[in-house]
Amino acid sequence: MSPFSNKRTDEYGGDFEGRMRFPLRVVEGVRLAVGPDFPIIFRFSADEYIDGGLTLEDNKLIAQLLVDAGVDALSVSAGIYESTPWYSRIFPTMAMPEGCNVDLASEIKKVVKVPVIVAGKLGNPEFAAEVLSSGKADIIAFGRPLLADAELPKKVSQGRLDEIRPCIYCNEACAGNMSHFWRIECVVNPELGREREYRINPVQKSRRVLVVGGGPAGMEAARVAALRGHDVTLQEKEDTLGGQLIAASVPQFKQPIQGYAEYLENQVKSLGVKLQLGSEVSPESIRKMKPDVVILATGSSHTIPDIPGIGAANVASASDILLGRKQAGNRVAVIGGGQVGCELAWFLAEQGKKVTVIEAELGVANDMNMFSRFYLTDRLAELGVEIAMTTTAEEITSEGVAAVDAAGNRRVIEADTVAIATGQGGAEAGPGAAIWLFLAEAVGGAVLGLATGYIAFVAMRSIDEHNIEVVITLALVTGTYALAGALHLSGPIAVVVAGLLIGNHGTRFAMSATTRDHIHKFWSLTDEMLNAALFLMIGFEVITLTIYGGAAWLVARRSGAPPGGK
């Protein structure tokens, strides 16, 4: 339908009438197949938000034509893959307005007499009810909110709104995982996709459980333990629950996180968890309490770079600024261009401050999913935030930050305040703990890669001997590659290669002996190519292991402490 994407020159392209021919014929064909009493719902983007694409006015006409063709309801979304910020219209981000497509649905509803469905950040039942009561839409479509809490509709119907686990629209484990060819998960719902494994069953014998830490991990642990029937006490050294969620929810564009923190707090209170706030745990206090089980959920702390001037008065952590413990000046240099640093830059730039982000790597916000990252980087550009990539902070002075880029060019980035956003680390972790995690992944990847290579080699040797052995070996190849994909990006590529192997040898078995002889040379060539791909991926794993091993040695040598901490 869209002139942006439809470049056909036949009867299904060209002018508006030509571009509408395909969808109208689809509707006509579906109606003939299902009969007059089966509902047909047509999903479309009411505004593509891109030059040369369909506008709202275009889609008002399209909506009327679809209804005239026999469509019983229209489902309204927005944007296409190329709409800027890329993908953000399709997977609305945490920072986008609640009900971001409601106004579009309202305009479509004015020109048709069939029900209009709307989707897009409508997981708040009270807001969704307002949309319906105002007549802007007839039906609310839930997507990601049902991943966060599959019982959302049931809880709404029973008036249990405080029990709804809210979606925070982070896109990390749902859309983000899909972009990495991995299964859908949920940051706020660990049960998603593992409902049988994580089923909460009552215990036969109740135990006294002490949870240390009132952040999201501690509250979730306390919630589940209480649901199972344990006697739970939660101790938190601060006067409030929430942990890192408190600072994270300060920016206006991070408000959904506050709703999640409130949900967890409501849960632990309603389930009878004993709360001891402003109470720091010590070995003596634990011995005095005599719990049967202690769950440590003390969270993470800021990783502070070891550079001259780090303790100066003009230096503050990201949390200090967000929580108002320190005030940022008019010129701010943010050391660290991950998600925290970039979001802090956004927060400060909206206040009219001149912000520079200093990042040692190529690119910023690389720790985010691409959907939210595109939206974030677009906002930084709009706000005039300067990005200094491949640049390392060498010293903090009263004038700002002395830095050097990858080419060796040195300069002073002037700043009244230097904000530290160089990541988080476990409270008890030593300087090389993260490196050891990388090493574990690399070793696992290398072992899987080598094992896969061996299995593939055996498969190649035995491929023409026994059909059953072929099936088993190829199944092992595919399964091993799937596991490798969980550890490294070579995994998805390897799955493709495994698929080619199956197709290659499966087709060979389907052919007659005479036909196989005629194209023997072709099969030999493809086997060589596939074997080369296999060994290249094994080499990738070995190289990764070598790099991580060298990095671990360098970090341990420079820090003067063994990796892993105490």
pLDDT in tens, 165-202: 999 999 999 999 988 888 899 999 999 999 999 999 99
Task: Please check whether residue 306 is in contact with residue 421, taking contact to mean a CB–CB distance below 8 angstroms.
Answer: no
pLDDT value of residue 515? 44
Q: DSSP secondary-structure letter at 331? A: E
pLDDT at 545 over 90: no
Q: Mean of the pLDDT values across residues 47-61?
A: 97
pLDDT at 123 over 60: yes
pLDDT value of residue 180? 83
Closest CA to 66 of 44, 34, 33: 44
pLDDT value of residue 357? 98
Are β-strands 424-426 and 331-335 bridged in parallel, bridged antiparallel, or unpaired? unpaired
Q: What's the mean pLDDT when you consider all of the chain?
A: 84
End-to-end CA distance of the chain: 63
Look at the block and give the residue holding tokens 């943010």: 334
pLDDT value of residue 185? 95
Q: How far apart are CA 49 and CA 80, in angstroms?
A: 8
pLDDT value of residue 450? 55
User: 227-273: per-residue pLDDT in tens?
Assistant: 999 999 999 999 999 999 999 999 999 999 999 999 999 999 999 99
User: 278-332: per-residue pLDDT in tens?
Assistant: 999 999 999 999 999 999 999 888 889 999 999 999 999 999 999 999 999 999 9
Give the highest mean pLDDT range of 217-221, 279-283, 499-503, 510-514.
217-221
> What is the per-residue DSSP string for 356-396?
EEE-SSSSS-TTS-HHHHHHHHHHHHHTT-EEETTEEEEEE
3-state class of 412 per DSSP? strand
Q: How far apart are CA 503 and CA 463, in angstroms?
A: 13
Contacts of 391 (CB under 8 A, 6+ apart): 358, 359, 360, 403, 404, 405, 406
Q: How far apart are CA 64 and CA 62, in angstroms?
A: 5
Q: How far apart are CA 319 and CA 310, in angstroms?
A: 16
CA distances from 297 to 237, 281, 285 (A): 12, 12, 16
Does an H or E element contain 400, and which? strand 400-405
In the chain, what percentage of residues exceed pLDDT 90?
Answer: 70
Q: How far apart are CA 163 and CA 270, in angstroms?
A: 10
Task: Please check whether residue 268 is in contact with residue 160, taking contact to mean a CB–CB distance below 8 angstroms.
Answer: no
pLDDT value of residue 547? 60
313, 317, 323, 328: CA torsion to nearest 10:
50
Residue count of the chain, please give it.
566
pTM reported for the whole predicted model = 0.75
Are β-strands 231-236 and 274-277 bridged in parallel, bridged antiparallel, or unpaired? parallel
Q: How far apart are CA 194 and CA 206, in angstroms?
A: 24
For the beta carbon of residue 564, count every other beta carbon within 10 angstroms.
15
Q: Mean of the pLDDT values across residues 109-133?
A: 97
Dihedral over Cα of 105, 106, 112, 113: its sign: positive
Task: Please check whether residue 410 is in contact with residue 402, taking contact to mean a CB–CB distance below 8 angstroms.
Answer: yes
For the beta carbon of residue 29, count every other beta carbon within 10 angstroms.
10
Task: Give the angle subtended at the CA of 78 by the CAs of 48 and 110, to the nearest 5°.
Answer: 100
User: 392-433: per-residue pLDDT in tens?
Assistant: 999 999 999 999 999 999 999 999 999 999 987 654 444 444
Q: Mean of the pLDDT values across residues 337-361?
A: 97
CA distances from 474 to 455, 458, 481 (A): 8, 10, 11
Burial of 459 (0-12, 13-18, 19+ CB in 10 A): buried
User: 158-173: per-residue pLDDT in tens?
Assistant: 999 999 999 999 999 9
pLDDT band at 475 (very low <50, low <70, confident <90, very high): low
Q: DSSP secondary-structure letter at 181? A: T
3-state class of 416 per DSSP? coil
User: 62-118: per-residue pLDDT in tens?
Assistant: 999 999 999 999 999 999 988 988 778 899 999 999 999 999 999 999 999 999 999
